[in-house]
Amino acid sequence: MDRVRKALDFCIRHQTTLSYSIVSLLTAGSEHIFSSVVFKCPCNSGNMLYGSSFLLAPAFILLLIGYMVSARTWRLFTGTCSPEKHLQRSPRGTCASFCQLLVLMTAKASVAPLTWIAVALLGANFYECAASGSNLTASLLSKVNGNYSQEMLFKMPCDKELSARISSEWVSLQAQSQLIGWFLIASIMTVTLISTCVTHCCSPVSYLQLKFWKIYSKKEHELFEIKAKEHATKLAERNTNCFFEATDPAPFHTPSNEDWQKISILYTFNSQEQYYSMIHKYVSTNRGNSAKFSDEGQDLTVLAFVDETQTS
């Protein structure tokens, strides 16, 4: 039992890393199935379009799915076009915050698409088919050996003997694809490491306080879910009972639209008035009626977990 509890604690502590790993594994498995079962290079003038479609179209679809399943996407866009929310902030601040959050969302949503492209390049089937239909590949090959025509290049993915003969005189398309794949993986890891170091270097709080902050955000979200369910259940019971019993409803307080709007604003850190969430800021500023509530700080990537926890 202790081992199970330790395993669960480990999964909870590293849930972000594990979730990205699971997404990457599922994406790699899907690419293998597509490459071995679905993909069949036509070996004609349509090679370029067919191969590129299998290489890029699934990656684009995965990127859109990444945006759709991101809670921050809907927190950012919900009510954005309403006149009330438009008047709350300056256009410059809104645009800057939107661009910053869009970069963060794109980075997180790109895990599956980049995994698909990297694995597909290492497998080389899609790239080999697409490159064999490229005029650039044909022109480069003709400079090396003028004995091979464009038509022969089209048939290379389907003719292993022809492919081996061409590869013996020129760098194979499979080798090119794998080199690009490894370069892409190395670039992704380098950019990820650098961006992580930069965000932690720019952290406005210390390491242990940041750890405490994440624990607080998680607990606040859990308690909010419990209280919201209890409150909604009581309100539903009151309204249902009044409907069936034909009685007048008893007074029941619920947060106003303005209150909901205040705690739904994207979090910004202010070093002068430190709050751990928008609910914390709301209750500490006289339910958002104090002038301090409207004071905005600076959106920092290292504190992105605040909004993520509240909307996960």
76-105 pLDDT per residue, tens: 777 777 766 554 554 445 676 677 778 888
> Is residue 44 predicted with pLDDT exceeding 70?
yes
Residue 179, in any domain of the structure: yes
User: What pLDDT does residue 181 have?
Assistant: 93
Highest mean pLDDT among 62-66, 109-113, 197-201, 229-233: 229-233
Same domain, 176 and 283: no
User: What pLDDT does residue 90 have?
Assistant: 44
> Is residue 17 predicted with pLDDT exceeding 90?
no
User: What pLDDT does residue 26 have?
Assistant: 80
- In our burial notation (b when 16+ CB lie closer than 10 A, e otherwise), range 63-92 reads beebeeebebbebbeeeeeeeeeeeeeeee
Partnered with residue 298 across adjacent β-strands are 269
Residue 153, in any domain of the structure: yes
Rg (alpha carbons) of the chain, rounded to whole number: 27
| Cβ–Cβ under 8 Å, residues 210 and 203 | yes
User: What pLDDT does residue 298 have?
Assistant: 61
Number of domains forming the structure of the chain: 3
Calculate the alpha carbon distances from 34 to 29, 30, 38, 53 in Å.
9, 6, 5, 12
Q: What is the extent of the structural domain holding 263?
A: 207-302
Same domain, 107 and 158: yes
Residue 308, in any domain of the structure: no
Out of 185, 202, 219, pick the residue that ends a domain: 202
User: Of 39, 43, 51, 42, which Cα lies nearest the Cα of 150?
Assistant: 43
Residue 85, in any domain of the structure: no
Token readout for 116 is 């698909």
pLDDT band at 224 (very low <50, low <70, confident <90, very high): very high
CA 45/CA 262 separation, integer angstroms: 58
Same domain, 50 and 196: yes
Same domain, 260 and 226: yes
Same domain, 158 and 57: yes
User: Residues, the chain, total?
Assistant: 312
Same domain, 189 and 146: yes
Mean pLDDT score across all residues of the chain: 80
Same domain, 236 and 296: yes
> Is residue 45 predicted with pLDDT exceeding 50?
yes
Token readout for 58 is 């699934």
Same domain, 106 and 198: yes
Calculate the alpha carbon distances from 228 to 19, 21, 78, 235, 265 in Å.
27, 32, 19, 11, 18
For the chain, helix (H) and strand (E) counts, in that order, are 16, 0
Out of 202, 226, 244, pick the residue that ends a domain: 202
Q: What is the DSSP letter of 213?
A: H
pLDDT digits (tens, 9 = 90+) for 105-158: 888 889 889 999 999 999 888 988 888 888 877 777 766 665 667 777 788 778
Bigger pLDDT: 77 vs 309: 77
Same domain, 158 and 10: no
Same domain, 146 and 270: no
Give the list of residues 6+ apart from residue 135 with CB closer than 8 angstroms, or none. Answer: 150
Same domain, 145 and 247: no
Same domain, 116 and 131: yes
| Cβ–Cβ under 8 Å, residues 55 and 117 | yes
